[in-house]
């Protein structure tokens, strides 16, 4: 395996990666590899696929949800 050094990473981005690693119980290195794999291997959804997913939702989102709002929604589904 190759080694890579990332230079000039924004502090805010690094903080988000660290938080994600902590949340997912992964090392910083493993989290970066995981995130890169997710991005590089995922197939973008077509407009039709996005439209279909939106049509099946039981609610309409107004803007961007915060991590806290997403967590509350997830926990309310479990009860």
pLDDT at 43: 83
Name the stretches of the chain with pLDDT < 70.
58-62, 78-79
44-59 exposure pattern, b = at least 16 Cβ within 10 A, e = fewer: eeeeeeeeeeeeeeee
Three-class SS state of 66: coil
Instruction: Answer whether 0.85 is exceeded by the pTM.
Output: no
pLDDT at 58: 67
Residue ranges of domains in the chain:
11-78
């Amino acid at each position: 395996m190759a080694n890579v050094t990332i230079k000039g990473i924004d502090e805010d981005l690094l903080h988000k990666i660290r938080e994600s690693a902590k949340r997912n119980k992964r090392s910083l290195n493993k989290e970066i590899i995981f995130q890169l794999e997710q991005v590089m291997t995922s197939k973008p959804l077509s407009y039709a696929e996005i439209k279909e997913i939106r049509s099946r939702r039981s609610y309409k989102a107004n803007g961007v949800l915060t991590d806290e709002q997403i967590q509350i929604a997830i926990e309310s589904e479990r009860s």
